[in-house]
C-alpha cells in the first residue's frame, strides 16, 4: 500500500508543530498539581456571604461531608471558599442561596429557639436530617435548598486537592510516559 504520509510531510509536520511542542510540554509540566502553590482557603474572607452566613454554610457542608479517620471533610477541603467564590460571580444563583439560609435559620428558631450556629451538634444533626428528607423528590423550600447545597458541596469537594489527594487517593492529572492500566492478574481472568 502507498504510504501517503510520506517523508516530506513528516519533516514538514515536525517543523510546523515541533517548535510549539517543547513549549507546550513544558507548560504542561508547569501545570502539574504538585508544582502549583497551594491555595490558602483558610484565611479567605467571604465576598458574597456575610461572615455569619459563611460560617453557617461551612458548618452545613461539614455535616454533608464530615472530617473523619478516612480523610478531610468539607471545611478542610476548602469547600466554603469554593461556594462563596462561585456565588460571588453567579448573580443568578444568589437569591436562592440567601433564601435557603434564611429558611435554615427559620427552622432552627422554630425548633430550638436559636440561630443555627448556636444549636448543639445534636440539634444541627436533626436540622440537616429534616433538610435531607425527600432528597430524591424535594418538596419544601428547605428540602430544595439541601439538594442545591449538596450538589455544590460535592462538586467543590471533588475538585479540592486535599480531598482528591488525601481522601480519594487520586494521583492523576500528571504526565505519564506509559499508562499502566490494570496491573492485577486476578482482574484479568
Partner 1 sequence: MPASRKTTFDVCIIGSGPGGGIAAYVLAKSGLKVALVEAGPRLRAGVDYNAHGSVYANLEKRLQSGHRQPVSSVWNDYAERNHFTPVGDRPGHGLLKALGGRSLCWAGHSLRFGPLDFRHWPISYDEVAPYYSRAEQLMAVYGNKDGLSNMPDGEFQKPVAMRCGEQLLKRGVERLKARGLRMEFVGQRKAMPTESWPGQRAVCHYCGHCMQGCEVDAKYTSANTPIPLALRTGNLALFTESTMTRILMDANGHRVSGIEYTNGRGAVDKIACKVLVLACNSIETPRHLLINRTREFPNGIANTSGHVGRNLTSHFGLTVAGFFPELRARDASNDDGTDYYHGLLTALSWDNPNPHFEGTYQVQCGSGLHPRRLAIDSVPGYGSGFKRRLRELNVCHASMNMQGALLSSAKKYVDLDPDKKDRFGLPFPRVHLHYEANDIAMAEDMIQTCEQIIRAAGGEVISTPGAVSAAKLQIDYNHWVGTVRMGRDPKTSVLNPDCQSHDIPNLFVGDASVFAAYAEKNPTLTNIALSWRMSEHLIEKFRRGEFS
Region 52-71 residues binding partner 1, contact defined as CB under 8 A? 63-66, 68, 70
Show Cβ contacts of residue 152 under 8 Å, excluding neighbours closer than 6 positions.
Answer: 82, 83, 86
Residues numbered 92-151 forming contacts with partner 1, rule: CB under 8 A: 128, 132, 135-136, 150
Residue that is written with C-alpha cell 429534616 in the block:
130
Among 2, 45, 110, 122, binds partner 1 (CB under 8 A): 2
Which stretch in 49-57, 106-114, 137-145, 175-183 sits in contact with partner 1 by CB under 8 A? Answer: 175-183
Cα–Cα distance, 119 to 106 (Å, whole number):
13
The gap from C-alpha 67 to its chain's centroid, in whole angstroms, comes to 15
Which stretch in 49-57, 78-86, 96-104, 110-118 sits in contact with partner 1 by CB under 8 A? Answer: 78-86
What is the smallest separation between the CB atom of 30 and partner 1, expressed in angstroms? 9
Per rule CB under 8 A, is residue 166 in the interface with partner 1?
no
Closest CA to 49 of 4, 113, 102: 102
Residues numbered 16-55 forming contacts with partner 1, rule: CB under 8 A: 16-18, 20-21, 24-25, 27-28, 31-33, 36-37, 39, 41
> CA angle, corner 14, sides to 11 and 18, nearest 5?
160
Amino acid at each position: 500500500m502507498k504510504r501517503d504520509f510520506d517523508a516530506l510531510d513528516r519533516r514538514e509536520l515536525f517543523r510546523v508543530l515541533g517548535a510549539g511542542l517543547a513549549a507546550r510540554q513544558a507548560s504542561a509540566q508547569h501545570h502539574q498539581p504538585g508544582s502549583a502553590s497551594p491555595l490558602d482557603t483558610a484565611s479567605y474572607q467571604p465576598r458574597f456571604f456575610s461572615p455569619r452566613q459563611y460560617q453557617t454554610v461551612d458548618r452545613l457542608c461539614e455535616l454533608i461531608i464530615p472530617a473523619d479517620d478516612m480523610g478531610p471533610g468539607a471545611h478542610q477541603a476548602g469547600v466554603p471558599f469554593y461556594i462563596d467564590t462561585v456565588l460571588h460571580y453567579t448573580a443568578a444563583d444568589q437569591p436562592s442561596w440567601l433564601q435557603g439560609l434564611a429558611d435554615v435559620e427559620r427552622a432552627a428558631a422554630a425548633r430550638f429557639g436559636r440561630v443555627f450556629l448556636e444549636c448543639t451538634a445534636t440539634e444541627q444533626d436533626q436540622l440537616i436530617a429534616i433538610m435531607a428528607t425527600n432528597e430524591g423528590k424535594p418538596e419544601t423550600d428547605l428540602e430544595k435548598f439541601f439538594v442545591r447545597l449538596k450538589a455544590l458541596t460535592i462538586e467543590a469537594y471533588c475538585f479540592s486537592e486535599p480531598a482528591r489527594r488525601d481522601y480519594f487517593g487520586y494521583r492523576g492529572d500528571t504526565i505519564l510516559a506509559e499508562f499502566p492500566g490494570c496491573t492485577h492478574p486476578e482482574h484479568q481472568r
